[in-house]
A and B are shown apart, each in its own frame.
Chain A
Amino acid sequence: LAKTTQPISMDSYEGQEVNITCSHNNIATNDYITWYQQFPSQGPRFIIQGYKTKVTNEVASLFIPADRKSSTLSLPRVSLSDTAVYYCLVALRGQNFVFGPGTRLSVLP
């Protein structure tokens, strides 16, 4: 059973910022939060990973509040090519990931 809850789907328009929030009320002290992106007929692709506060890389930001019971993936200025399924995962580093159904993001022109 996945340890996270996230919206099943979201719609956005090109150029907008998209925020996908994930709930993980039972996150353990040593768990990390990891986000993956998956396009049809491809394997999931690592986007970002964090433990607390804020992490930013060239494609996304990850915001984690102090209680760590949720996290928000922020995608700046999305394009049509960002249409994909986004998975939020929590696990000890190196442990097996349990995937939920993810959030299906549709970016519209």
Chain B
Amino acid sequence: DTGVSQDPRHKITKRGQNVTFRCDPISEHNRLYWYRQTLGQGPEFLTYFQNEAQLEKSRLLSDRFSAERPKGSFSTLEIQRTEQGDSAMYLCASSPEAHGYTFGSGTRLTVV
């Protein structure tokens, strides 16, 4: 296991389309986080899973966003009816019970 993997690395989509991103965490990590980052800003927290349970969601996560982590392994983040304001880097991170996060390289979304 070489770290947190995210797929795809880049996604260009037309406004109004749905997109789905995947994150594969480090296998022994039970916590998984999604963040969003726009240019020049620090990452913003979106949501967090402990195993398969989604324990916290940010107000940033509108009803167009949904995240899942079936069986407590990989996670998906779906954005429905994308808007230009959704253009950002979407970062996934995982951690064991109580330690620093390991981030993936992110998925860069461009909505045109």
Residues of A at under 8 Å CB distance from B?
2, 34, 36, 41-46, 49, 85, 87, 93-94, 96-102
Contact = CB atoms under 8 A, between A and B. Distances in A.
A86 to B, nearest CB: 11
Contact of A43 (B91, B95, B99): B91
Given A41-B108, A94-B95, A46 B102 contact: yes
Contact of A49 (B35, B44, B100, B104): B100
A94 B91 contact: no
A17 to B, nearest CB: 23
Which of A42, A49, A85, A97 has the most CB atoms of chain B within a 10 A radius of its CB?
A97
B46 to A, nearest CB: 10
B34 to A, nearest CB: 11
Nearest to B44: A99
A102 B56 CA distance: 24
B42 A42 contact: no
Contacts, number: 53
Interface in B69-112: 89, 91, 93, 95, 97-106, 108
A36 B42 CA distance: 11
Interface string B4-47: 10000000000000000000000000010101000011111100
Given A41-B106, A46-B102, A49-B100, 9 more contacts: A43-B91, A44-B43, A44-B101, A85-B42, A93-B99, A97-B101, A99-B43, A99-B45, A100-B42
Nearest to B3: A43
Given A49-B100, A101-B42, A102-B42, A96 B33 contact: yes
Given A94-B98, A96-B56, A97-B45, A43 B104 contact: yes
The 8 residue pairs across chains A and B that have the minimum distance between CB atoms: A43-B103, A99-B42, A93-B98, A94-B98, A46-B100, A99-B43, A43-B91, A96-B45
Given A46-B101, A94-B98, A96-B33, A87 B108 contact: no
